[in-house]
Amino acid sequence: MSIELGLCSGSLNTKYAPLAALAVRFQQQQRLSPLEQVGVEMKEVDFSAVDKLTQVVISILAGCEYISEVNSKLKCEQALAQAWQLKRFSEQSTLARTLDALSLMNLTQLERAVRQIWHQHSRTLLHDWRGFLQLDLDLSGLPCGNQAQGAEKGYFSGKKMPPVANWRG
């Protein structure tokens, strides 16, 4: 399958173009094929259970924090659905019913499938653990300038942190 990305006017526009490109790569490498091991017993009308689980993954990649956001963010994205080889995206209620239908055995299968995907493609597994993995988090809420890398306005529950005496400003 070849896909061409570019600017055009028409119904093929999507605001999720990087996710469409990722779809091509995922399908070439069959990255989500372990989801086929999850045997959810449910009626198949328009989408199989694997298609619905794939759509849940797509919604996470598209930035949906909740399943309820699928209708507002993805339902109208016809071009993105086509990139993932879907006719369209399911209603959020259909995806929620699929997740509700997962039994304990299905959850174990899903966990195994996700672990398999992670093990095949994780970069942390390739890290040389004889050395340190450095992670820098700043939860202090101290002010930073506009020139700070990745600086964004944030909210820290209305509490102001007084500068500590040994803090370098």
List, for residues 142-160, the tens digit of each pLDDT value.
Answer: 666 667 766 666 655 555 5
Rounded mean pLDDT, 31-41: 85
167 has pLDDT over 60? no
Q: Give the predicted TM-score (pTM) of the model.
A: 0.65
Rounded mean pLDDT, 22-37: 86
Contacts of 136 (CB under 8 A, 6+ apart): none
List, for residues 103-130, the tens digit of each pLDDT value.
Answer: 899 999 999 998 988 888 777 777 787 8
pLDDT (0 to 100) of residue 165: 52
Rounded mean pLDDT, 135-146: 66
32 vs 139: which has the higher pLDDT: 32
pLDDT (0 to 100) of residue 16: 81
Burial class (CB within 10 angstroms; exposed 0-12, middle 13-18, buried 19+) of 99: middle
pLDDT (0 to 100) of residue 10: 56
Q: Compute the distance between CA of residue 114 and CA of residue 31 in angstroms, rounded to an integer.
A: 10
List, for residues 42-101, the tens digit of each pLDDT value.
Answer: 777 788 888 899 999 899 988 888 998 999 888 888 888 888 888 899 989 999 988 888
Spatial contact of 75 and 63, defined as CB atoms under 8 Å apart = no
38 has pLDDT over 70? yes
